[in-house]
Structure formats: structure tokens, C-alpha cells
Amino acid sequence: MRSRQMTAWSALDEVTDTSAFVRSPSTFRSSVSRDGRFPAVAGRYHLYISYACPLASRCLTFLKLKGLDHAIGVTVVMPIFERTKESDEHRGWVFPAAADEEPGAEPDPLNGARSVRELYEIASSNYVGKPTVPVLWDKQLKTVVNNESSEIIRMLNTEFNGIARNPRLDLYPAHLWASIDEANELVYDTINNDVYKCGFAKKKDDRVLMSDLGSLTSIHDRARELFYYLKGGQVYYGEEHSKACGHNRFGRIYHIGHYPVRYEHNPVHFVGHSAGAQVVRVLHHMFTDKAEEVVVEKTKTMIKSIYILSKVPLDRCS
């Protein structure tokens, strides 16, 4: 199938003149089901992710936990935003030209695409929006089934049980739906999105950024409490999963990726907001937990890269 050129944008285009960040909703929202257009068949689907993106990475976590890695292929993109086409200035997720170009990243094995943008162009000739990850790809129909991580993980949890190695593992039990949904809303709306509000703010007025930082760091303290509940309470995802997908990225990406651009004159300012007992507890676990080191060591270079090496030019923020 021949692709056509799309109109692409990035997160920068979702920041208003008043520095408000308004994330566009995901566009491809179809579902895998046992008897629908996208049946749960082994070998039919492929997952495209970035280790640098916690939303995409949680899809890989679910795939591994459910034992579906034999049935659904996975390809990891480059950790740095690069030009997706020579004809315009759009920068986004790209594939390496060769398997040895970036440890962990791989060329697209299915379509030979050079970027995630090209995948979207193959899937839809009139798509307008952000070419994001994760992408759940249908190899048979050559299209994007879904690019909303919260929906992909729920499909992986229930719809593939007929071919999963761990079909009895339920990561979204019915009696905890309300609690899990509340936690997801907390993380998505007030942590993931607030990071962009702070990092891509178009005004250099410290008062604007202070407001966003205060909200972000106070919510992150609440998330730490939830993290310890998950480790010790009845919702058990394993001791490493929440930590590897969220807390490590927060420290490695956001502190040294976004904020030094704004606070070079006061590098400890942001840390001061969240210094406290919860920080000490998290750091203690991260420095003493050997199993977690194995998980993070494989991907920490990619986790660091996306916001440090793909920094938004300062003249775009003025």
C-alpha cells in the first residue's frame, strides 16, 4: 500500500499562547475482540513503542506480564526525536536505519517505514495529528488498530486470554475498577500532562511556571503514596513494575530535561518542592533494590535521551 503525506504536528502545537497545554485525544480507537473486525489471533498484531514514553512502555509491561510476547511482536523506536521527512520541519519518532545504530532500537520489520509518521500515513491517507506511540498495528489490514495506551492495556488484559501464557492474571479486576480509574486519571491528567505544561510553557515568567510546578510536585507526592500502596496493598502488580514505568522516568527525564532550561539560576528550586519522607523512601528502594537495577539498566539511556537530546529550542518558547 502506498502512503500519502499527512499533516503532522507535535506536543509544541498543543500549547496555547497562554501556556496552557491541551493534549489532543488519541484518534485510532478500534478494539481487538474475539469475534470483531480485529480478532484476537496470534501473529496478527505488532506493538510499536518507545522506552522513553511511560504510556507506551506500560503496554509492553502488560504484554510481558500476560505472556503475550510470543503472539504479538514488538519494535522499539529511536529515543530521540528527529526529522520525519525532508519536505518539512516536523520532528518525531523514527526508526534506526540499521539494527546496530542504537542499542535496543530496531528498524521497522513490517513496512520498512522510516518513522512512526509513515506508519500513520499508511494507515490513513487523510490523518491529521500527532504520530504517537504506542501503536497497536494490524499486519493483515496494514492499519493502526489503536494508539491509546489505556485502551491497549485493557485489550491485552482480557481479549487475548485465549492465547496468553498467563490468562488467569487479571490486572484490572472488576472490584477495583473505580480505584484504578482514579489512579490513572491522577497520573495522566496531573502528572503526564503537567510535565508538558511546565516544560513547554511559552512564557518565561517564573510565576507562571511556579504555579505549574507546585501542582505537579504536590500531585507527584500523592502518587508516591499510591506507589507504596501498590507495593504493599491488595493491588499487586509486582514490586518493580510501577517503579520502572513511572518514578525512574520522572527523575531521569523531567528534572534534568525540562526544568534546568527555566531554573539555571536556581537549580535546587524544583527539588525543594518535593523533598521529604516520601522522596527518601523511594530513593532508598531505588538504590537498594538490585532486581530493579536490571530492569532500568537496559533502557535508562533511552529514558534519558528523549527530553535531553530532543530539547525544544528556546526561541520556540518565547
What confidence score (pLDDT) does residue 27 get? 80
Q: Which of 57-66, 85-94, 130-139, 228-237 has the lowest mean pLDDT?
A: 228-237
Instruction: Tell me the average pLDDT across 109-123.
Output: 97
Query: Both 151 and 198 in a single domain?
Result: no
Q: What is the pLDDT of residue 183?
A: 78
Same domain (yes/no): 310, 182 = yes
Q: Which residue has the higher pLDDT, 151 or 239?
A: 151
Q: Answer yes or no: is 1 within a domain.
A: no
Q: How many C-beta atoms surround the C-beta of residue 154 within 10 A? A: 15
Indicate if 95 and 200 belong to the same structural domain: no
CATH number at residue 94: 3.40.30.10
User: Residue 302 — pLDDT band, cuts 50, 70, 90?
Assistant: low
Lowest mean pLDDT among 62-71, 106-115, 117-126, 256-265: 256-265
Structure confidence by residue, pLDDT tens digits, 44-56: 999 999 988 888 9
If asked whether residues 152 and 200 sit together in one domain, one would say: no
Q: Are 236 and 310 contained in the same domain?
A: yes
Whether residue 191 sits in one domain with residue 147: no
Task: Report pLDDT for 163.
Answer: 97
Asked whether residue 144 carries a pLDDT value surpassing 60, the answer given is yes
> Which of 107, 129, 158 is a domain's end point?
158
pLDDT digits (tens, 9 = 90+) for 191-231: 666 666 665 655 555 544 555 555 665 666 666 666 655 55
> Which residues are identified as catalytic?
53
Is residue 152 one of the residues assigned to a domain?
Answer: yes
Q: Look up the domain containing 300 and give its range.
A: 174-317
Do 179 and 129 reside in the same domain of the chain? no
* CA angle, 228 then 229 then 231, to 5°: 60
Residue 263 has pLDDT above 50, yes or no: no
Query: How many angstroms separate the Cα of 277 from the Cα of each of 38, 52, 83, 96, 123?
Result: 48, 27, 43, 42, 48
pLDDT above 80 for 96: yes
pLDDT of residue 8: 62
Is residue 293 in a domain? Answer: yes
**More reliable by pLDDT, 184 or 242:** 184
Pairing relationship of beta strands 32-33 and 143-146 according to DSSP bridges = unpaired
Residue 63 near residue 73 (C-beta atoms within 8 A): no
Indicate if the pLDDT at residue 145 is higher than 90.
yes
What is the rounded CA–CA span in Å between residue 254 and residue 306?
10
113/226 same-domain check: no
Does residue 137 belong to any structural domain of this protein?
yes
The angle at the Cα of 52, spanning 46 to 54, to the nearest 5 degrees, equals 75
pLDDT of residue 137: 99
Clarify whether residues 299 and 181 are in a common domain. yes
List 45's β-bridge partners, or say none.
138
Task: Count Cβ atoms below 10 Å from residue 73 Cβ, excluding itself.
Answer: 17
Q: What is the pLDDT of residue 222?
A: 66
Q: Do 152 and 70 lie in a common domain?
A: yes
DSSP symbols for 278-308: HHHHHHHHHHH-HHHHHHHHTTHHHHHHHHH
Q: Is residue 87 predicted with pLDDT exceeding 70?
A: yes
Task: Please give the pLDDT value at position 15.
Answer: 60
Decide: 212 and 187 in contact? Cβ < 8 Å.
no
104 and 205 inside one domain:
no
State yes or no: pLDDT of 130 exceeds 80. yes
pLDDT of residue 181: 87
Domain total of the chain: 2
φ and ψ at residue 3, rounded to 5 degrees: -85, 155
